[in-house]
Amino acid sequence: MSLFIHRALGHFLMNEAGGDSGGGALDVNGGAMAFAALLDPPIAAEQPEGTEEHPEQPVEPKVEAELEEEAKPGESEEEPQTFTVKIDGKEVQVPLSELLNGYQRQSDYTKKTMEAAEQRKTADAVVQQAQQERQQYAGELQRMAVQLEGVLEQQSQIDWNELRETDPMEFLKQQHLFQQRQALYQKNMSEQQQLAQQFQHEQAQAHQSYLAEQQDNLLAKLPDWKDDAKAAAEKTAISKFLQEQGFEAEDISSIADHRHVIVARKAMLYDQLMAKANVQAKKVQEAPQRVVKPGVTVNGNADGRTTAAKRHAKSGTVESGAEVFLQFLD
């Protein structure tokens, strides 16, 4: 600060002596202002103590590699976690996100299936309750009809001509009752007929639903029957087989349970297999016997066929025929 004061005083003295080339003599006001400047010098932009002024450092350009890394943000991200699962017998790498989505879809499907089953169960309970109430109502109608028939039968025994002449008031009363009971009886019969038609309609719908369910179960057990031509051919063969076993055409057409169809098909295929085995055994039996020279080894499989054929010729059982057939499969 003392150095600043000395410089200001020197400047002040030079101005006062006229040594400043840029101005004239300093007057009183100028001197006062100069002296005030000495007492309160202008405050420059102060910097915190202990810090030094540093020129602004230029921003260095980024390295080309860093720019490339910023241009490819996907490469720096972590790769998704994958798991090995088996699909259609093949191992496949599946990301965790897809597994979670699949699990969520399966959960949603299971939830919807359970909700549908619960709704179906509730609907079945409502239908069953309605059927019970309808059956009770039908029973009441039948009992009422029996009572009306009895009363109408009694009134039909009245001598209406005599009653009209002897007691006109009673005649009118009985005639009115008879007409009311007849109308009520006709209404009762009509109501019973409507209930019977509704019951038949519901039974037909239930039977169609049952047939559709059995058809789905049958196709699940016999996928080949999804081919209509193959299914029709085997159905015809099964029907013929059952007729040969003594079944009536009406009994065959009424088969609805898919388990009965599967059992009948297995029985038919088994009979066809046994028939082929019997034919093959007969051919072996009728074939000329080979003469084996001494020292020549007989083929073991041919010897087994011959032995099985002879055994079947003696016993004639289904088991011996199957044994002959198996010998030819070896």
What does 83-125 look like in DSSP terms, one character per residue? EEEEETTEEEEEEHHHHHHHHHHHHHHHHHHHHHHHHHHHHHH
- Residue 281 CB contacts under 8 Å (≥ 6 apart), including other chains: 308, 309, 312, 313, 321, 324, 325
89 conformational bin, left if phi > 0, alpha if psi -120 to 50, beta if neither: left
Provide the mean pLDDT of the chain.
Answer: 74
Pick from 87-96, 131-140, 282-291, 318-327: least confident: 282-291
Task: Give pLDDT tens digits for 93-143.
Answer: 777 777 667 656 666 667 777 777 777 778 778 878 888 888 898 899 999
- Give the span between the Cα atoms of 299 and 290, in whole angstroms: 11
pLDDT of residue 78: 62
Alpha helix stretches (DSSP H) within the chain: 2-17, 28-39, 64-71, 73-76, 96-156, 160-166, 168-221, 228-244, 249-253, 258-286, 300-315, 318-329
What residue ranges do the domains of the chain occupy?
2-39, 96-218, 224-287+300-329
pLDDT of residue 239: 93
Specify the pTM.
Answer: 0.44
316 conformational bin, left if phi > 0, alpha if psi -120 to 50, beta if neither: left
